[in-house]
Amino acid sequence: MPNDDPTAYKPITWNPIFEMGHSAIDDDHRSLIEKTNTLLEMIAVDSGIESGRIISLVQVMREECYQHFASEEQVMKTLSFAGVNEHVKEHRRVEEVIDGFLDRLRELPEWGTEFREHVLAFRMCLLDHMLRYDLKYKSHFMNEAGY
Ligand SMILES: [Fe+2]
Ligand SMILES: [Fe+2]
C-alpha cells in the first residue's frame, strides 16, 4: 500500500463528542463521515478500482458540503453566533480546496498513488473542518438550546 500510515485508512467512528446539539447539522456531519468512510474503503484496495466511481462519490460529497455549509451558516446567523463571519470565510476556503481537489482528480490519467494521496488529503481537510473547526460553535449552540 503506498501510504505506510495504517491510520490513514481507518474508518471514523461517530462519537457523541462530535454532536453539536443541532439535529440537522449532526445529520449532515454523520452523512459526510459515512461517505468519507466509504471513500476510504474504496481507496484501500490496491487495484481494480475505477477512478470514475471515486470521482462520482467525491462529486456527491462536494454537493453535500456546499448545501451543508449554507445551512450551517444560516443556523449560525439565526442563533447569533459571534464567529459567523470567520466561519463563513473558512467555508469558502474549504469549498475552494474541494473544487481544486476534484479538478486534480479529473486531470489524472489513471488510478494510482497520486490519486490516492489526493483522496487522503481531501479526507483530512473535511475532518479537520467538521471535527475541529465546527466544534468552535458547539458551546454557543448548546447554550442556545438550553443545555
Ligand atoms: Fe459543519
Ligand atoms: Fe462549518
Q: Domains (ranges, CATH) in the chain? A: 20-144 (1.20.120.50)
Contact 64, 35 (CB under 8 A): yes
- Expressed in angstroms and rounded, the spacing between residue 116 Cα and the centre of ligand 2 is 25
- Expressed in angstroms and rounded, the spacing between residue 48 Cα and the centre of ligand 2 is 35
Q: Rounded distance, CA 38 to CA 20, Å?
A: 23
Residues lying with their CB under 5 A of ligand 2, a single-atom ion: 72, 134
Place of cell 461517530: 14
Q: For residue 89, which ligand has an atom nearest its CA?
A: 2
The tens digit of pLDDT for each residue in 32-56 reads 999 999 998 888 876 667 888 889 9
- Expressed in angstroms and rounded, the spacing between residue 6 Cα and the centre of ligand 2 is 28
The pTM for the full model equals 0.89
The tens digit of pLDDT for each residue in 58-87 reads 999 999 999 999 999 999 999 999 999 999
